[in-house]
Every structure is written in structure tokens, then in C-alpha cells.
Amino acid sequence: MKGNRLLADSAITALAPMIWGSTYIVTTQLLPPDRPLLASVVRALPAGLILLLVGRVLPQGLWWWRALVLGTLNIGAFFFLLFLAAYKLPGGVAALVGSVQPVIMLGLAALVLGDKIRLPHVLACFAATTGVALLVLKATAALDVVGVVAAIGGAVSMASGVVLTKRWQRPAGVNVLMFTGWQLTAGGLVLLPALFLLEGLPSSINGTNALGFGYLIVFGSLVGYSVWFRGTDRVPAIGLSFLGFCSPIIATVLGFVFLGETLSFLQFVGAAILIGAILLVQLTPTRKPVLDEPVRELQRTTS
């Protein structure tokens, strides 16, 4: 019964990285060029403020600095590094470099959460990297040092944020929408000074740009992160990390549908390997079982 519930929660949580798989095509086709800070702030801050205005619940006590830390890791730093990599690297290279995230997550979850590293997890890491390479990497792909560093930094930032989110847990009485709003707002505010000091605002925003920003605010942040932070309550850390591989699968499909890209036999093989790795990790238990919601709420209340 618990196994079925975990698979259902994993399937729901996978909707978030599937939505995020559209980030590359939206960034390159709809947003103003070479504006990673603008893209990051606009994606995060409006969505966070909307959730705060609707819920009207602010952090209390130590959750002020915890929200700042989580917002910086999960949103601010991650968004900036993600968009920087998207601008500097072809989507396939960015996805391949970002595939180191499960390895980072595996180590952090073992150190911080006490999750046990199992052989299927290690095998799945190698399989996933191979799958990503077959799925999205082309022989003509170019490397950019800044882009590669940004992609690795984004993987480290997201892995650290997920592990700390699971370590601290959502505070009692705060629903997932408010928890999401805290982090989106904090992440956007962290980047706001850098936007004005380093990049500035564009002279104009056209209708295409507005459409792209609107999509990222509504779907990339409001919907995507609400689903994702719900999943951090219910899915083990390493499982969350592997769900992120839904992004390159969706990115490849979107490239085929909207950009006229072709799909080779090896890409289908890569997608099959990725899906197998995702399922393998979801079916392999960690040492710490996922708690039922009443138990989690009791722990939050007594902590």
C-alpha cells in the first residue's frame, strides 16, 4: 500500500520537471537574449508575491533565515545558473552536465539525512547519464566554460536545497503554497540587486517576451514549484533527483514538435534508459521510509 502511494506521489511530482523541460525552448525562443538575471527575477518574484498576497502567512522565528537559505538554493541561485547555462550552452550539453545532480544528491542525502546508498542507486546514476547523452547530446555540440560551470553550480544548488528542505521539513500549519511563496519571494529578492547592478532592464519588452515570462511565472513557478515542494514532503531525496530527468525527455519532445528537430533511434534508446533509471530509483527504498502525513505533522508540532 505504501509502495503504491509512493509511486503515485512520484508520478504527481514528476509533473514539475516535465513542465520545467520547456524552460530551454521558452528561454531561447521567447525571452530577450542574454538576460539570465531578468529571466530569473521575473520567473520567481511575481509568483512568490502572488502566493504571499493570497495566503497572507509570513515566516516566524528561525524560518525567516531558513526561508532565505532555501529560497536562495532552490530558487535564486538555481534559476540564475539554469538560465545562464541555457544561454551559454546547447540544451543537450546543459542537460548532460546537469545529470551530475543525482550523484551529488546521493552523497548529500547519505550525509545529511542518513539515507542509505544502495547499488541500484549507483547503477541508476550511470544509466541516467548514458541516457541523457544518447537523448540530447549531438556531435556538433559546443562547450562554453562559463555555461558548464553554471550547469554544475545549478545541480549543486538544487541538490543542496532539496536535502535541506527535507532536513528542516515544512513548518506545522503552513501549507505547501505558502511554503512555495516564501521561497519564490526570497529567491527573487536575492537576485533583484544583481539585476539592477549587473544587467539592468531592457529598453522594451515585446509581446513574445511577455508571453514567455507569463508562461514561466504561471507554469514554471506557481504550478511547477507547488507540485515540487509537495513532493519534497513525500518522495525520498534521491527519488526527487531522478524525477528531474523528465526534463530532458520533455525538452527533446518539444524540440521535435516545435523546432523541427529529428529523433534518432539512439535518442529513443536514451529515453528508454532514462525512464528505466527513474523507475528503478523510485522502487528502491532508502533507509529512512517516507512518513505518512499525520506522522510528519506530529513531528513538526513537537519539534
pLDDT tens-digit map of 30-74: 999 888 899 899 999 999 999 999 988 999 999 999 999 999 999
Domain range for 203 is 2-298
Report CA torsion sign: 78, 82, 84, 88. positive
- pLDDT at residue 239, rounded to an integer: 87
Q: Among all chains, which residue has been given the C-alpha cell 533527483? A: 241
Total number of domains constituting the chain: 1
User: Distance (Å, rounded) from C-alpha 274 to C-alpha 92?
Assistant: 14
Per the domain annotation, does 132 fall within a domain? Answer: yes
pLDDT tens, position by position, 97-114: 777 888 888 889 889 988
Per the domain annotation, does 9 fall within a domain? Answer: yes
- Where residue 186 falls among pLDDT bands split at 50, 70, 90? very high
Q: Among all chains, which residue has been given the C-alpha cell 511563496? A: 181
Output the average pLDDT for the chain.
84
Per the domain annotation, does 289 fall within a domain? Answer: yes
- pLDDT at residue 1, rounded to an integer: 55
- Where residue 303 falls among pLDDT bands split at 50, 70, 90? very low
Report CA torsion sign: 24, 26, 29, 34. negative
How many CA atoms, within 13 angstroms, populate the side-chain half-sphere of residue 24?
26
Closest to 250 in 3D by CA, of 95, 125, 101: 95
Per the domain annotation, does 163 fall within a domain? Answer: yes
Per the domain annotation, does 256 fall within a domain? Answer: yes
Per the domain annotation, does 303 fall within a domain? Answer: no
Give the whole-number percent of the chain exceeding pLDDT 70.
Answer: 88
- Where residue 135 falls among pLDDT bands split at 50, 70, 90? confident
Angle at alpha carbon of residue 193, lines to 191 and 199, rounded to 5°? 85
Task: Report, as an integer, the average pLDDT of 129-137.
Answer: 79
Angle at alpha carbon of residue 62, lines to 58 and 64, rounded to 5°? 40
Per the domain annotation, does 18 fall within a domain? Answer: yes
User: Residue 289: which residues within 8 A CB-CB, separation 6 or more?
Assistant: 2
User: Distance (Å, rounded) from C-alpha 47 to C-alpha 19?
Assistant: 16
- pLDDT at residue 3, rounded to an integer: 64
Check pLDDT > 90 for residue 144: no
User: Distance (Å, rounded) from C-alpha 123 to C-alpha 106?
Assistant: 12
Report the amino acid identity of residue 43.
R
- pLDDT at residue 291, rounded to an integer: 43
More reliable by pLDDT, 280 or 182: 182
